[in-house]
Structure 1
């Protein structure tokens, strides 16, 4: 009989081991197959902004690219294209990293080291991915608030909860003296404390969830420390604390120091009175409610976060950097080609076979920019995409230290733009007012620091004579700063007026039969072609409309259209 039981247990253990092994192999295959592939599912952007918003409010730095530039360049879509992170920390950190174009050179070298490791060592990468997946995703985890302002998250009047937690014990001590009074007191105190735990716990549920996620962060960091001990020792620590100086020692020592205050914390707030629980968990949850342990432990945990906030932020950054490295390596593997950019002292941009990462079958372009330039061309010829390609790669170079190009070199500079503007109906501001505010912010920023600025269709919100005059004045002011200004425009008049101070490039098209063919290749010099009226004809507009437009154009060019009546 004993032999049968032993054999049965052995068979059960073997079957369990095989199932676990098969499940692990299947999971590893999924990780291997997904690497270098573009994710089909998109995440909700509102869930990834918390870390950056809190960092912006706390640090008060103006070194991040602003919201206008972010929206102009469709950086939400760029984020989605790059994102292959495995935990919420990585996604929030990636969103923040893509804003910080002033990351120190040492930090960029660190990111390149991690990215290369993830790309060249798939076995280690998959082990890291499994740990990051274990940390998991929590929609709007709220943990970032504890990094930057933990004092605001502390519960006031902690002594009240401690006194309430002692009352059931007092009631128990009364029972031997007077049974009836003691039992009555115990029932009252138990009921009251349970009500307090439930009511207060409901209001704190999101905060308790944040601390449960913090527990997952600590557990994941411990696993990384254990699994990659020797590898972490090989990697020099960058400036995680934001001091401008590298952290002392290697990544192993930095992670160890960051974990030290939290290493003894086990299972921070593992349960909650507001989650479904099995019958076995109910007595434990009732015990916690009676003695208000979640509320007391909550403040103790927050106190540790307050006392060791630098270590907490460093710990968050390390996990974030590791997840971002995996994501960036996967992004690079999905590209037709990419490069690690090089930085120069002089403000010169050299692009070799550069392309925009959001275009599926891109047409690459090469250019050397050591001066301001105006890019002209017909509608849909590619000029706006071209300047966005330079802008996006400039951001990627200074944040992730990678570019979508064969080669890309640049001088470090702030990135700012004025492109995808629109009327603001709610505020009552017209397009033109929004545009001149946007241009004014560019001028001010260029006077503060070296920038590369991108402007698409400057001052399109006003009449032609004033647009040309005002655009000329604005572009001359920008030329007299230390910045480089790249402008896309239909106004060929600007190319003639500013030809001595702005370089000229253009895009063009060919009409082959009834077809319009664009080669999307940048060429030197101003544009000589127009296609707006031809496009009307191509799209099937009535012949009378096309003919009248052609006639009107001829009058305008000959200066004889002043008597035209609508």
Structure 2
């Protein structure tokens, strides 16, 4: 079965309809983008209807108690027969091609106009006037018949698009109610009755006859107003149905996902962060790493291309899944249930005239505002790269130090001098690779490779030698940072 391709804005609608704006979400849009959560969500929601997709999306943002959902998912994982039975009962939900959370949880549906009951008499009046005109030949009766016919056409044209769109919405509502009946829940009978009330008559659904019924008797328009009133009158029941169906479909998606995931564990709640043998679920054959963070945050250094950004994304994603779903992609996990905010890929915004550095400043200010509201975990990659070295280090130190006072900070940077400036709040660790294995060890990077990569990437050796000379001059001007001189010596030897 091919799933209907819903756009991200449709998937996000349910969360926006029901989220509590007074408390805020546990992550924001830039964190969603920086941690590649769209790709992760797409993988998570394979073979899942729009109901389950929307509930999974809501959980990723929400501050929920995950103990109940974790218990349900564990039960589904332990009982293959029950899981397959539930998947069979809900599989038709994947045929839904309309998002209905906005209809059920958004602005109230308007009541039908007071003239709607007259629609049943308008076709009768037209037929009677037409028959009388044929029998008598009176011109006035022909005029009346013509006016009534044009009225029927005008009403049909006026509501044609609304009727068509509502038919799609109603089809999804009825698929939800049918699934509820198949699941044999205690209110399955009520769901079945409501489903029948929302259905059109058998004659009105017959091909050919339905066209005459719609254009001559306005059956589609009358059903549009009647069914809309029925939905409005039963809104409480339909909202409850939506929540239960979405919850079940999301739980099935998680159980299905974990059943084919080679490495995962159920997270323990604690004040520290401990991810043992953690991996990123989107990377096939990813090398596991162990990451620990107590009250102090971490400063990660490492050579270019070593995988610092991947490590940050793996940690950030696992912290989010622990809070939202109760599991991590690790052998053991202890995590606090804190919001996660990331700053990893700020970009120029040509449309608004925002430069790269301005985008970094805006994001830094947003993170400080989040930290002022409540404790959080901040995942940051190379903050303030858009200005000169001295100002970059100074601004980064000020912002990171402040964030570390309010929450936990996990930052990766090539400015290793930040490790000493922030030693009171961030523990320095360096990421390195031995063959195919990655490891984190205490300390900061000493052997940089930024200039070495010039030659390795095809630059003329003369360019590399010239870059080494400039590096030494820059190092002397700035007081000779160890990282620059060490890197320059290494490049000089290789060049």
In the superposition, the TM-score normalised over structure 2's length comes to: 0.86
* 1:135 lines up with 2:60 in the alignment: no
Is 2:433–2:439's contact at 8 Å kept on the other side of the alignment? no
Flag the 1:187–1:223 CA change in 2: closer, same or farther, 3 A. farther
2:229 to 288, 300, 303: 303
Partner of 1:452 in structure 2?
A: 377
Partner of 1:164 in structure 2?
A: 119
* 1:533 lines up with 2:437 in the alignment: no
Unaligned runs of 5+ in 2: 481-495
2:353 to 420, 428, 436: 428
* 1:78 lines up with 2:78 in the alignment: no
CA separation in 1, counterparts of 2:201 and 2:53?
A: 26
Is 1:142–1:206's contact at 8 Å kept on the other side of the alignment? no
Superposed CA offset, 1:368-404 (max 9, x none): 2111221111111122211211110111111122211
Report matched runs for 1:71-110 at 5 Å: 71-100=33-62, 102-103=63-64, 105=65, 108-110=66-68
Partner of 2:308 in structure 1?
A: 383
* 1:506 lines up with 2:430 in the alignment: yes
2:166 to 196, 207, 231: 207
* 1:472 lines up with 2:402 in the alignment: no
Partner of 2:242 in structure 1?
A: 316
Is 2:178–2:191's contact at 8 Å kept on the other side of the alignment? no
Please provide the CA RMSD for this pair: 3.2
Partner of 2:474 in structure 1?
A: 556
CA separation in 2, counterparts of 1:204 and 1:44?
A: 23
Report matched runs for 1:113-512 at 5 Å: 113-139=71-97, 141-151=98-108, 153-154=109-110, 158-170=113-125, 179-180=135-136, 189=148, 192-224=151-183, 226=184, 229=185, 252=186, 256=187, 260=190, 263-266=193-196, 268=198, 280-344=206-270, 346=271, 348-370=272-294, 371-481=296-406, 483-509=407-433
Superposed CA offset, 1:458-487 (max 9, x none): 111111001111111112211221x11111
User: Secondary structure of the residue that 2:46 maps to in structure 1?
Assistant: coil
User: Secondary structure of the residue that 1:424 maps to in structure 2?
Assistant: coil
Partner of 2:488 in structure 1?
A: none
Is 1:374–1:505's contact at 8 Å kept on the other side of the alignment? yes
Flag the 1:60–1:190 CA change in 2: closer, same or farther, 3 A. farther
Q: How much has 1:353 moved relative to structure 2? A: 0.9
Partner of 1:14 in structure 2?
A: none
Q: How much has 1:308 moved relative to structure 2? A: 4.0
Q: In the comparison of the two structures, how many residue pairs are matched? A: 474
Q: Which runs of 4+ in 1 moved over 6 A?
A: 39-43, 173-178
CA separation in 1, counterparts of 2:92 and 2:250?
A: 16
User: Secondary structure of the residue that 1:508 maps to in structure 2?
Assistant: strand
Flag the 1:526–1:148 CA change in 2: closer, same or farther, 3 A. same
Unaligned runs of 5+ in 1: 1-26, 28-38, 230-251, 511-516
User: Secondary structure of the residue that 1:331 maps to in structure 2?
Assistant: helix
CA separation in 2, counterparts of 1:263 and 1:472?
A: 64
Flag the 1:379–1:310 CA change in 2: closer, same or farther, 3 A. farther
CA separation in 2, counterparts of 1:270 and 1:45?
A: 32
User: Secondary structure of the residue that 2:411 maps to in structure 1?
Assistant: strand
User: Secondary structure of the residue that 1:49 maps to in structure 2?
Assistant: helix
In the superposition, the TM-score normalised over structure 1's length comes to: 0.76
